[in-house]
Amino acid sequence: MEDDKKLAGLVRKGLEAQGFTVDACAHGDDAFALATTRPYDALVLDIMVPGRDGLSILRQLREQRVTVPVVLVTARSALNERVEGLNLGADDYLVKPFYVDELVARLHAVVRRSAGNAPTLLRNGDVSVNLLTRETRVGDTKVELTSREFALLSHLLRSPGRTYSRAQLCEHVWNYHFDPGTNLVDVYVQRVRRKLGGDDTTSPIETVRGVGYRARAVPAQP
């Protein structure tokens, strides 16, 4: 969440270059709505924005027991503001101006700390996805995926065997409502399939005709 459009654009571009999938908004009310309706690995909240400010959003999230890691960003370096944010449940903070590389490092750190016992490696058959390093492998071979391709594959791998409709995948991976006239999901599924290898009967992603797609459920090896 950042109300400076130029800064928000630079930060978004920098994060996406590091493999992150980013939603950006300039109004606190919009940020709060997204934070309470979509699953995020981490949030970056500017303290001073129109509508709900960053501290108010943080306070309400923690009151609702939303435990997503939060990095606060502010142009002011007053100690009391930083302390208030940490006391409200922020996981880290940055004072503007900052380098995107530092933000990336802090995001990785708070996600690692919050992971606890949550799985950071998704594995299904020969395919594995590391949610921290954002690395994908088929066996011992590294596969290069774009941020959206990675988001699509990791979403499917969280629940092998579960079928997702195109509308659900649009909602979770692209964060917008499904347009029946688009073949966006189908195009990305085909791209991921080509990169992972396998034919129609062995591909890690199965088509469920008339419904959507699912990750092929592969029994774990003893």
Asked, for residue 55, whether it belongs to a domain, the answer is yes
Count other C-beta atoms under 10 Å from residue 183's C-beta: 11
Last residue of a domain, one of 97, 115, 133: 115
Q: pLDDT-based confidence at 222, cuts 50/70/90? A: very low
Asked, for residue 221, whether it belongs to a domain, the answer is no
Alpha-helix residue ranges (DSSP H) falling in 65-218: 79-88, 100-115, 147-157, 166-169, 184-196
Type of residue at 13:
K
CATH number of the domain enclosing 144:
1.10.10.10
Condensed to tens digits (0 to 9), the pLDDT of residues 111-142 reads: 877 765 456 788 888 999 988 788 999 999 99
Count other C-beta atoms under 10 Å from residue 137's C-beta: 15
Q: Return the closest-CA partner of residue 41 out of 106, 123, 136.
A: 106
Condensed to tens digits (0 to 9), the pLDDT of residues 43-61 reads: 999 888 888 888 899 998 8
Based on the fold, state whether residues 164 and 188 are members of the same structural domain: yes
Our count of domains for the chain comes to: 2
Taking the whole predicted model, whether its pTM rises above 0.75 is answered as: no
